[in-house]
Every structure is written in structure tokens, then in C-alpha cells.
Amino acid sequence: MQADPADFLAASRVIDFDHPAVAAKAAELRGTSTNPVDITAACFAFVRDAIPHSVDIEAETVPCRASDVLAAGTGYCYAKSHLLAALLRANAIPTALVYQRLSLNDTGPPFILHGLNAVHLPDLGWHRIDARGNKPGLETVFDPTRESLAYPPRLPGEATLPGLYADPLPVVEAALTDAPGWRTVIERRPDIEPEG
């Protein structure tokens, strides 16, 4: 993964770490630490464990902006990645959005995107992290020495997309915007063809 970390520090409409509630949560999770690895671990654990995935709890609220995810206390994988990016960027840790293209039914087409993050850590460079949320049969951890992804691609057509994104893909934002519930996002099925 090649990208200038400085391009992944800004607040935006969706990664709104300038929102008072997000800024306060970022400061709370940082505590007195100045170690980017420790701060990343705390933010990752919070988003993974305290913000359940919308499908897991069949949430009728589908937020997109980081501040809305924090307020709702739930979010799709994409929305959780928006919150994690906001918490880390608020702590001056470069954080990108990353996507995987995965089979919706684990057998092949149709495909749907999965959202996660990449964080740039001193002496380590870019490292993908997946705070989707643990459940029986699925567990991710933050370990800067190895990648821990919820869904390693394994089927034809599945892939971890190579790009690092400062803001959500338009197709992802469109799927979350005004969605009346968790099933709607699956029906809208955000997807893009991998390049190459």
C-alpha cells in the first residue's frame, strides 16, 4: 500500500472528527497515552466491541457519518470504518478507508463491498485493520505484526481492493444514505468491479 499519510488526516463531511462528540470520544480513548499503537488499539477495540454491526442486531438505524454512528451506537461495516477513521484522525493517526469485494452468500455472485481501515503507524507503515465486530465464528484483533481480517477473500471474484481512500466510495455512501433499515443496504448491494 503506497500513499502519503498526510492525505489521511483531514476531517470531512463523513469522517467528521471535528464534531464535539467524536472529538470527546477520541480524547477519552487516548487518555494520557502518546503512543500511536496504544491509541489505535483503544480506538479499534471500542469500535469493534461497543458499536455492534447493524446486521448482527437487525438495526433499523443505518448511519453513515462518524458522528451519527457514535450517536446511534451501531453501524454497518462501512459506517464503523468511518467512525474508526474519525477517532484515529482526531488523534493525528493517518487512517484510510479500505474495501473488499466479497460474495454475499459465500458461494459466488452476487458480490457486496465490505468496509475496513488501514492505519499508518510509525516504523510499520500502512496496516489493514477490521473492526467489523466479533461474533461466533468470526473474530478480529488489532495486532500490528499481522493482519486480522474478518473475511479473507477466497472465492473467484472476491478481492481486497488495492486503493486507500480518504472518503467513502460514492456507491457506499449512496447505499447508507436514507436507508430505512439494515436489509435495505443488502438490497442496494454496494459493489464495484476490481481493476485489472
pLDDT per position as a tens digit, 22-49: 999 999 999 999 999 999 999 999 999 9
Per-residue pLDDT at 196 exceeds 80: no
pLDDT at 181: 84
Instruction: Summarize the confidence of residues 118-136 as an average pLDDT.
Output: 94
C-alpha cell at 41: 488499539
Closest-CA residue to 81 (of 25, 41, 45, 132): 132
- The pTM of the full predicted model, rounded to 2 decimals, is 0.96
Q: Which DSSP state fits 6? A: G
* Contact of 17 with 70, CB cutoff 8 Å: no
> What digits encode the pLDDT tens for the residues 62-90?
999 999 999 999 999 999 999 999 999 99
What domains can you pick out in the chain, each with its CATH number? Answer: 5-188 (3.10.620.30)
How confident is residue 185, by pLDDT bands cut at 50, 70 and 90? confident
